[in-house]
């Protein structure tokens, strides 16, 4: 049942932020019964387009029609009432409330003035069953994994939507099986006649689920295409505005490491977090840490940097041995750490790009050894140029930047401290294809210049490209190591899967 009637139409939408033209004359059409991908690099205007549509930002110019009638959503609530529901990349639910409460918050069913808990719980269960989810709806949301929380957010949106559903990178925290579960739901909704806008960075998923693709670049519309008629390489070409070939992605060929060991961890352990891991990194070497979500890869990084304390084990840095670590000490010893969650543990949103860049260096130098403003500006400018951070000024607030540029600022923060070892936990998550490539190239260049790097990534291909050696973790245990020509997705997956004991599947390999 695909009527193909136009459901939602946006015409010549423009939006300017101070210093940035975020959208200029963009058209977007969503038809009934389709899944429509919105593609573009970070900063292309995808998020802005969605925020304009859902009333988060007012638009400067343009018109929006829903079922042929002009609409203006002045707030997300108004958009919801109009039947436009959105699930954002970051989960906007209250983790301290129960699943059912989260599903019905703001519209709790009532009976004679009091909340009708019975009805709410029954309705919740029914709603979740529609998404093939079987949860205890009375349990607090925080008892469930991020993936499940995401599904609950989607269930809520589906229930409130009357035709348009927007999914803004819903799959970035889901594993392959959960992605399939989500796709099943999306197909069902599509067949019911719903129009779904799907924003993602995973190209494979776009080809698996979508019917049409609208591509944006630098705030302008590139075009609308039928998915089946657009090749992957032309999609990427349209997105980044230059030629891209699949062959560009290949294994790291030259290694430049020296025998000198920069960091050696011996039997680092933390109860309930990770079993003994021993690992050493040589000067100029890139070591990958592979494993499933929750396999202990991030947990191990946290131990090295001293975010968490090891119960036992010894870490050797240069000539010194350490049994306990904290971030300040780690930085003084020449370690830098780009954490997995950029927003929570990386950027300091209210501060400027300059301040974000010098923060770790200043912390290393101490509070009274103030870096003069002029020197700060020199440092910031050097890294803005070096990493090609796109910004009108170093005095912009960092949260005005796109995800890829924010990540570059965090990288700059660590490079400014002149580290010997850089730990990168998911350095390219939620970043567009172009910036991903740039960051990968940067990793290789840095290694060539003698920096040692420990990289963690859900994208196996990324690690194969960057790493000299990959250490595999499973169930919080070190299970093996692969290096050189033996590194390929199949061999790593095999090592991860060997011995079984895990029901989780490997997350999408992406790009």
CB of 178 to other proteins, least distance (A): 26
User: Nearest CA to 56 among 40, 39, 78, 36?
Assistant: 78
Q: Which is nearer to other proteins, 211 or 340 (CB)?
A: 340
Q: How far is the CB of 317 from other proteins (least distance, A)?
A: 15
Min separation Cβ 443 and other proteins, Å? 19
Using the minimum distance from each CB to other proteins, give the nearer residue, 318 or 349: 349
Closest to other proteins by CB, 380 vs 492, is 380
Measured CA to CA, the distance from residue 70 to residue 504 in angstroms comes to 46
DSSP codes of every residue in 289-303? EE--TTSSHHHHHHH
Q: Least distance from C-beta 406 to other proteins, angstroms?
A: 11
Shortest Cβ distance from residue 87 to other proteins (Å)? 24
Query: Nearest distance from residue 261's CB to other proteins, in Å?
Result: 24
**Nearest CB to other proteins, comparing residues 371 and 493:** 371
DSSP assignment of 48-104 equals HHHHHHTTSS--SEEEEEETTEE----SHHHHHHHTEEEE-SS--S-TTSBHHHHHH
Output the six-digit token pair for 4. Answer: 């193909």
- C-alpha distances out from residue 169 to 36, 37, 174, 180, 399, Å: 13, 10, 10, 15, 18
Packing angle, helices 353-365 and 403-415, rounded to 10: 30
Which is nearer to other proteins, 369 or 503 (by Cβ)?
369
Q: How many residues bind other proteins (CB under 8 A)?
A: 38
Q: How far apart are CA 222 and CA 243, in angstroms?
A: 15
Output the smallest distance, CB 320 to other proteins, in A. 18
Q: How far apart are CA 383 and CA 365, in angstroms?
A: 19
Taking the alpha carbons at both ends of the chain, their separation in whole angstroms is: 32
Whole-number Å distance between alpha carbons of 172 and 294: 15
Select 188 or 343, whichever has its Cβ closest to other proteins.
Answer: 343
Query: Could you give the angle at the alpha carbon of 474 between the alpha carbons of 407 and 453, nearest 5°?
Result: 35
Q: Measure CA 484 to chain center.
A: 28
Site for other proteins in 47-66 (CB under 8 A): none
The neighbouring-strand residues paired with 87 are 167
CA angle 312, 483, 340 (to 5 degrees): 55
In terms of CB distance, is 94 or 373 closer to other proteins? 373
Which lies closer to other proteins via its Cβ, residue 26 or residue 331? 331
Name every residue whose Cβ is closer than 8 Å to that of residue 41 and which is 6 or more positions away in sequence: 217, 239, 240, 402, 404, 432, 433, 434, 435
CB of 142 to other proteins, least distance (A): 17
In angstroms, the CA 464 to CA 395 distance is: 37
Task: Outline where 276-369 has alpha helix (H).
Answer: 297-305, 327-332, 353-365
Select 340 or 465, whichever has its Cβ closest to other proteins: 340
Q: Which is nearer to other proteins, 286 or 394 (CB)?
A: 394
Please state the closest distance from residue 307 (CB atom) to other proteins, in A. Answer: 7
The distance of closest approach from Cβ of residue 339 to other proteins in the complex, given in angstroms and rounded to an integer, is: 6
- Name residue 23's beta-bridge partners: 15
What are phi and psi for residue 239, nearest 5 degrees?
-70, -45
What is the rounded CA–CA span in Å between residue 102 and residue 453?
41
Question: Which 221-260 residues touch other proteins, going by CB under 8 A?
Answer: none
Nearer to other proteins, 98 or 298 (CB): 298
Please tell me the distance from the alpha carbon of residue 436 to that of residue 402, in angstroms, as a whole number.
Answer: 13
Taking residues 318 to 357 in sequence order and writing x for each that binds other proteins by CB under 8 A, - otherwise, the string is ---------xx-xx-----x-x----xxxxxxxx--xx--
For residue 347, the minimal CB distance to other proteins (Å) is 6
Q: Cβ(35)–Cβ(186) under 8 Å?
A: yes
Residue 505 beta carbon to other proteins: minimum distance, rounded to whole angstroms: 30
Site for other proteins in 413-472 (CB under 8 A): 413
User: With respect to other proteins, which residue has the nearer C-beta, 91 or 371?
Assistant: 371
Site for other proteins in 353-412 (CB under 8 A): 354-355, 358-360, 362-371, 373-374, 377, 393-395
Nearer to other proteins (CB atom), residue 161 or residue 352: 352
Rounded to an integer, what distance in angstroms lies between the CA atom of residue 78 and that of residue 55?
A: 7
Contact at 8 Å (CB) between 448 and 256? yes
CB of 344 to other proteins, least distance (A): 6
Residues from 278 through 307 that contact other proteins (CB under 8 A): 305, 307
| Binding region for other proteins (CB under 8 A) | 305, 307, 327-328, 330-331, 337, 339, 344-351, 354-355, 358-360, 362-371, 373-374, 377, 393-395, 413
């Amino acid at each position: 049942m695909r009527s193909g009637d136009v459901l939602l139409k946006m015409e010549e939408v423009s939006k300017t932020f101070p210093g940035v033209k975020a959208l200029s004359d963009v058209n977007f059409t969503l038809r009934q019964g389709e899944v429509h991908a919105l593609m573009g690099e970070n900063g292309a205007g995808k998020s802005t387009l969605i925020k304009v549509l859902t009333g988060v930002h007012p638009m400067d110019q343009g018109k929006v029609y829903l079922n042929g009638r002009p609409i203006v959503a002045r707030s997300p609530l108004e958009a919801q009432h109009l039947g436009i529901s959105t699930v954002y990349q970051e989960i906007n639910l209250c983790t301290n409330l129960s699943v059912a409460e989260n599903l019905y918050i703001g519209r709790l069913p009532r009976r004679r003035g009091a909340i009708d808990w019975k009805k709410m719980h029954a309705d919740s269960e029914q709603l979740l069953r529609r998404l093939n989810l079987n949860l205890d709806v009375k349990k607090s949301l925080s008892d469930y994994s991020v993936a499940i929380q995401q599904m609950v957010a989607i269930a809520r949106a589906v229930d409130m939507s009357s035709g348009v559903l927007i999914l803004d990178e819903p799959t970035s925290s889901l594993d392959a099986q959960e992605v399939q579960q989500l796709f099943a739901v999306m197909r069902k909704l599509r067949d019911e006649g719903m129009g779904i806008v799907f924003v993602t960075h995973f190209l494979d998923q776009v080809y698996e689920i979508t019917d049409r693709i609208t591509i944006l670049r630098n705030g302008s519309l590139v075009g609308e295409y039928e998915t089946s008629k657009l090749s992957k390489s032309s999609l990427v070409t349209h997105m980044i505005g230059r030629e891209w070939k699949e062959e560009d992605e290949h294994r790291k060929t030259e290694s430049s490491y020296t025998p000198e060991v920069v960091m050696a961890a011996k039997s680092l352990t933390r109860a309930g977090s990770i079993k003994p891991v021993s690992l050493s990194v040589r000067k100029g070497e890139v070591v990958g840490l592979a494993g499933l979500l929750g396999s202990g890869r991030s947990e191990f990084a946290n131990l090295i940097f001293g975010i968490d304390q090891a119960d036992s084990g010894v870490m050797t840095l240069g000539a010194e041995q350490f049994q306990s670590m904290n971030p300040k000490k780690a930085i003084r010893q020449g370690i830098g750490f780009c954490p997995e969650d950029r927003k929570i543990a990386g950027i300091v949103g209210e501060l400027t790009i300059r301040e974000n860049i010098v923060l770790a260096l200043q912390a290393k130098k101490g509070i009274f050894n103030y870096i003069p403003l002029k020197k700060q500006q020199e440092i910031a400018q050097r890294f803005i140029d070096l990493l090609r951070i796109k910004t009108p000024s170093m005095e912009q607030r960092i949260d005005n930047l796109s995800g890829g540029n924010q990540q570059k600022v965090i990288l700059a923060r660590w490079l400014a401290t002149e580290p010997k070892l850089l730990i990168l936990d998911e350095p390219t998550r939620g970043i567009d294809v172009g910036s991903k490539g740039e960051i990968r190239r940067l990793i290789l260049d840095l290694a060539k210049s003698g920096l040692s790097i420990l990289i963690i990534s859900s994208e196996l291909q990324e690690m194969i490209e960057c790493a000299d050696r990959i250490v595999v973790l499973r169930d919080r245990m070190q299970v093996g190591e692969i290096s050189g020509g033996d590194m390929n997705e199949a061999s790593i997956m095999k090592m991860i899967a060997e011995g079984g004991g895990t029901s989780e599947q490997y997350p999408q390999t992406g790009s």
